[in-house]
Amino acid sequence: MRKNLNKMLPKVYGRYFNLLARVSPKKAAEKAFYVFCTVRKGRVLPNQKEYLDQAKNGTINVQGHTLQTYAWPSNKETVLLVHGWESNTFRWRNLIAKLREADYNIVAFDAPAHGYSSGQHLNLPLYSDGVQAMIEKYGPKYLIGHSMGGMTLMYNEFCHQNASVEKMVTIGSPSEFYEIMDHYQKLLNFNDKVRKELEAFVLDRFGFTVNEFSSSRFAKKNTKKGLLLHDELDKLAPFHASEAVHAQWKGSIFIRTKGLGHSMHQEHVNDQIVDFLKN
């Protein structure tokens, strides 16, 4: 019963947006955007608490949000880890172990509305503000992002070109915002009128169109060295996304895998990441 209700709920939202758009298209677009940005999971679970609590090292304030930061101090260069949608810093535990073996200084944070951080909503420009605050505070030489985290790194570099950063790694990351919006429209089944108003809302709010928000476009001016990892069978972020980014990013290496899934926690994947940072 609960499973059926969960399947029905997105369509209920879509019908509501369609009806509201007849009366107030702008209000329908605003509500559709905030539903899109609403985070439903990714808070710290009981089995994650002990691991994360021992690494807490303070908070940063970003756009009215209090973001939890973490550190695993050491002597070598600083690495910043940026998790994906509906996740938290715990997802990096396997890679953190490898990075600690190599003596890297590691910092991370929970995105707004994730982990121990405050809030209920997340959008990519807001996440980028969090990334930039961490870069300005810690001056990392290396950035590693998974899924939405990787897309956020590409956008952040496009906006800031931080001098401290030399290498970037993205893992299973999407590229084109219009594809994400296509999926959202299909999931909720709202009509093209709502879609048009939603795109206008995004343009007014952030200053770019849905089509302009593209990691492959951002990659054209990225001068950092990059490593992209993506599984051919990734069901959450399309494989062609990293192919497109690699084609535009002159300083990038692309590693394709098959059968590892979206998370890519495997030991040999983490070894490849550490090797890229070392060499």
Q: What is the pLDDT of residues 106-122, one digit of tens each?
A: 999 999 999 999 999 99
| Domain boundary assignment for the chain | 1-36+177-212, 44-176+214-278
- Token pair in block for residue 96: 């953190």
User: For residue 9, what pLDDT is reported?
Assistant: 74
Mean pLDDT of the chain: 95
Rounded CA gap, 48 and 57, in Å?
Answer: 16
pTM across the whole model? 0.94
- Phi and psi for 205 in degrees, rounded to 5? -75, -40
Q: Which of the two residues, 33 and 3, has the higher pLDDT score?
A: 33
Position 7 scores a pLDDT of 56
CATH architecture of 44-176+214-278: 3-Layer(aba) Sandwich (3.40)
pLDDT band for position 2 (cuts 50, 70, 90):
very low
Give the model's confidence band at 10: pLDDT under 50 very low, under 70 low, under 90 confident, else very high: confident
pLDDT of residue 1: 32
| Integer Cα distance of 162 and 133 in angstroms | 11
Tell which residue, 17, 37, 19, has the closest CA to residue 29.
Answer: 17
